[in-house]
Amino acid sequence: MQQEGLESESAEECEKETSDEEQEAIEGKTSDEEHESTEEKTSDEEHEPTEEETSDEEQGNEIDDLESKEDEDNSSKSDDDSVNSDRSEEEEVAVDDNGEKTFPDWFLRKLHPGHFPRFMVDLMSLQKYINNPQIEHFHFNDCNEIALPILQHIFMLLNHVKGHETDNNSFTYLTRATRISNICFREIDIKKNPMYSFDPSQPNPLLFRSIFENGMSYLNRDALFSDIKFLPADIKLYFLAVVYWLHRSSHVDLNHLHALIICLVVLRTVDMKIPPVRNIRLFHKRFGNLIKKERLHRNKLLAEGISERAMKKEVKALSIPDRMTYIPKSDCYLVQNELLQHFYIPEIFKKKYDAYSSVVLHAFAEFQSVVFQLHTLNALLDFPYLAPKMGQLYCGVFLYNLYNLLKSRPDVAHHVKKYIFRDSSMMIEKSTTLSGIIIQIS
């Protein structure tokens, strides 16, 4: 009992102590809050501005307003002056508020539709050209060097616009050097002026022809531009590129030329007449029966002494290049059946990546560079020649395989006639005619 009484007394004492502690904590909080409120009041009273300070601030604001009005008036005057000056110099390269160069209107009208490649922006604003890398033979000079005269001509025209000539007589040319892995920076100087004035609104087509005036001593220019008129419109520029390439390149031979002509005939006629199926199994599945029937029919005609079908009189009256739209579909099926295997990368290249000949590829890389730069010049001069559709003219794998096929033949013309185009006399005529035109001109 005594123990229970002691425990109850101790519990009561503990409760009293806790209640005292809670009361002290509450009183401490209230005193702290009162102290903080008094400090805030005194600080607010200390920061209240006096009448003199408010008057000074109002005067300062009035001065700032006057200065801002003066700045606005000056800026409006300067804007009016700039508008008046821009009206007289619409075609000049302007400078925006950030100090960056803008482009003349005639340049933007050609750039926005995608007529110009991207390098034209760098060439126009930065006076800099970065070469496009290609698969080539690195022991030879850069494959893009062959088209450097065309690039120089383009830069010269950009800086000799009629009435707005500039003093930019050089540009930086980023390329590679032979047997050196680092990038080579070259400063290309332009020491000549255009032979004819360059007006972007009415460019002179003779500015395109001037590319063939220098560096081609064996070229008959008059014959070139007279014979080119008889070709279809969509391959004129392509053939000018072939002629330029043959005269400028030291790595090209006749097998390169024959491969280009065969590729052109096949892509521009066969792929336009029949579906361009490249899968051999799918091609035989879709057209195998038709090919067998046509082959049996032609063998029967040969047995009867008929070597080829008679051509209609109206087709015979046309020039050979214009006859290509009248080639029978049966010819296209049979020719494609023989050539389809050459559209594939040889299996050995999948195992040995260095098995292909970079020397052969180098000449074709040079040709691509020539076509690229001539197309840019053509766009700059408002397309005096129709832009070629490269998908109907050029196929890299097919060209490489054709070159390897022809280089081992002692008589290339005989092989083309008796094996490649043996099922189409009209394709033989076209390839022979086109090759003859280029060889005669060159």
d(CA 268, CA 272): 6
Render pLDDT for 234-270 as a digit per residue (tens, 0 to 9). 999 999 999 999 999 999 999 999 999 999 999 999 9
Q: What is the pLDDT of residue 55?
A: 45
Q: Which of 70-79, 367-376, 419-428 is most confident? A: 367-376
Q: What is the pLDDT of residue 240?
A: 95
- 318 pLDDT higher than 90: no
Q: What is the pLDDT of residue 315?
A: 78
Region at 309 (left for phi over 0; alpha for psi -120 to 50; beta for the rest): beta
CA-to-CA dists, residue 289 to 33, 93, 293, 333, 422, angstroms: 102, 64, 6, 11, 20
- 80 pLDDT higher than 90: no
Residue 285 and residue 331 in contact, taking contact as beta carbons nearer than 8 Å? no
Q: What is the pLDDT of residue 56?
A: 47
Q: What is the pLDDT of residue 347?
A: 80
Q: What is the pLDDT of residue 333?
A: 96
d(CA 256, CA 258): 6
354 falls in which pLDDT band (50, 70, 90)?
confident
Closest CA to 126 of 87, 160, 158: 158
Hey, what amino acid is at 228?
Answer: I
Q: At a CB cut-off of 8 Å and minimum separation 6, what does 29 contact?
A: none
Closest CA to 146 of 431, 369, 374, 390: 369
Residue 298 and residue 424 in contact, taking contact as beta carbons nearer than 8 Å? no
Sequential DSSP letters for 300-325:
HHHHTT--SPPPPHHHHTS-TGGGGG
Percent share of the chain, pLDDT over 70: 75
Region at 211 (left for phi over 0; alpha for psi -120 to 50; beta for the rest): alpha
Residue 247 and residue 219 in contact, taking contact as beta carbons nearer than 8 Å? yes
Render pLDDT for 274-308 as a digit per residue (tens, 0 to 9). 998 999 999 999 999 999 999 999 988 888 877 66
Q: At a CB cut-off of 8 Å and minimum separation 6, what does 263 contact?
A: 393, 394, 395, 398, 399, 402
- 351 pLDDT higher than 90: no
> How confident is the model over 429-434, as a mean pLDDT?
89
Decide: residue 289, CB within 10 A, 0-12 exposed, 13-18 middle, 19+ buried.
Answer: exposed
More confident residue, 32 or 355: 355
Hey, what amino acid is at 267?
Answer: L
HSE (CB half, 13 Å, CA atoms) of 365?
21
d(CA 79, CA 68): 16
Render pLDDT for 177-231 as a digit per residue (tens, 0 to 9). 777 767 788 898 988 888 888 998 888 989 999 899 877 878 888 888 988 888 8
Which residue's entry shows tokens 């096929």?
Answer: 405
Q: What is the pLDDT of residue 334?
A: 95
Q: Which parts of 164-322 fold into alpha helices (H)?
A: 206-209, 221-227, 236-248, 254-265, 271-273, 280-303, 313-316
Residue 396 and residue 288 in contact, taking contact as beta carbons nearer than 8 Å? no
d(CA 91, CA 89): 6
The pTM is what?
A: 0.74
Q: H/E element holding 160?
A: strand 160-161
Render pLDDT for 11-30 as a digit per residue (tens, 0 to 9). 444 444 444 444 444 444 44
**Cβ neighbours around 427 below 10 Å, total:** 25
d(CA 391, CA 287): 23
Region at 310 (left for phi over 0; alpha for psi -120 to 50; beta for the rest): beta
98 falls in which pLDDT band (50, 70, 90)?
low
Closest CA to 363 of 341, 396, 406: 396
Render pLDDT for 121-180 as a digit per residue (tens, 0 to 9). 999 989 999 988 888 888 898 999 999 999 999 999 999 888 888 888 899 999 887 777
100 falls in which pLDDT band (50, 70, 90)?
low
CA-to-CA dists, residue 299 to 235, 292, 296, 306, angstroms: 35, 11, 5, 9
Q: In this structure, are strands 164-165 and 160-161 parallel, antiparallel, or unpaired?
A: antiparallel
Q: What is the pLDDT of residue 99?
A: 52
Q: What is the pLDDT of residue 267?
A: 94
- Sketch the domain layout of the chain as residue ranges: 105-218, 229-441
Which residue's entry shows tokens 């920076």?
Answer: 185
- 57 pLDDT higher than 70: no
Q: What is the pLDDT of residue 237?
A: 96
More confident residue, 71 or 115: 115
Hey, what amino acid is at 370?
Answer: V
